[in-house]
Amino acid sequence: HFLEHKLFEEETGSAFDRFAEWGASANAFTSYAQTSYLFSTIDHWGESLAHLIGFVSHPYLTAENVEKEKGIIEQELRMYEDHPYHRLYSNLLRNLYHENPVRLDIGGTVESIYKITVAELLTCYHTFYQPPNMALAVVGDVDSEETLRIIADNFPGQSQNSTFAIERFYPKEPQEVVDSWSEEELSVSRPHYLLGFKHEPRWEGAALLKQQIIMSLIWGMLVGRSSQVYADLYGADLVDDSLGAAFNSGPCFAYSVIGSETDAPEKLHEELKKIIERLQKTEVSPTDLERLKRQLYGKHLASYDSFEYAANRFISHHFSGTPFYDFIPLLQSVTVSDIGEALNELLDYDNSTVAILRPVTGNG
């Protein structure tokens, strides 16, 4: 995350300024699995691509600019401390994981960032920013041969750089959760509820993509706006349009979350448990499964309307090793028994946790 910030700084100024001159919009983000740099533009395409490759390939790090960045990142970290969803999600991950680094904030802590040195940043850069550990996705009406020429021209000497296999070491993670329930007060107008299920990270490749699809179908049953479950929970004033769910996986971790803002978190928890246990005992009908598949198929096709989303997805699937182009055949292959197996194995309340944010006492 620190490197993400620093790579936009060049000896001649900010990389953002050059993009702005060409009318391009640039950004970057760091997740638990990768750091991505991106831009979108309708003009000066070649210059923008060359610039992106250039500043990512040539770090400009000095003791002075690294020290200055620490104050900027500190402000960012403190801002997120007061962000309800970020705080809630962080609490949930700490409830789920004993040792896995996913329990730690991606940006670090105020104390840890002030210990970072130029030497450490360069070691990190030269370890991970090597061609075998990088990928580039281009989405749009561009000439492929011209794009390849720009890439080749702007990676001077990269192919000759010495590269080495990156070894990653992860601590052994117990199967059980750390805490089954946690609550915290924050300046929010109403309570925030988040339920998490800890999974054994046993999927990879096509099996991982299929599991992601299966869980998306299950979320359609539970939180889809056309589902009876959503209608019942909404009608009982237990959820609002913030209700959502996700299945997440990464290096040596996998978990599912369901959450919403609600005035009655305990009641919502009870109702969700009843609903999930009922679904676990009742086989989904082939007709309902087909309807869910068609909904997901439609969302999948519609997602290509966003070039940025498509590019990000290509990159994330590349690094996770999931065969993205097999999405549709894998969706078609999902069976009723696949849904039942996932419901019963993954939504296991014996390996779950709840995180709640409540309004500060006396604030309503």
Half-sphere exposure of 238 (CA within 13 A, CB side): 17
CA gap 194, 95 in Å, rounded: 11
Sign (positive or negative) of CA dihedral 216, 219, 225, 227:
positive
Distance CA 257, CA 271 (A): 16
List, by residue number, the catalytic residues.
4
Whether residue 359 contacts residue 191, with contact meaning beta carbons closer than 8 Å, is answered with yes
What residues does 27 pair with on adjacent strands? 38
The C-alpha atoms of residue 351 and residue 248 are separated, in whole angstroms, by 16
* Distance separating alpha carbons of residues 194 and 222, to the nearest angstrom: 14
Q: Which of 31, 349, 357 is nearest to 177 (CA)?
A: 349
d(C-alpha 192, C-alpha 228), whole Å: 22
Taking the C-alpha atoms of residue 34 and residue 28, their distance in angstroms, rounded to an integer, is: 11
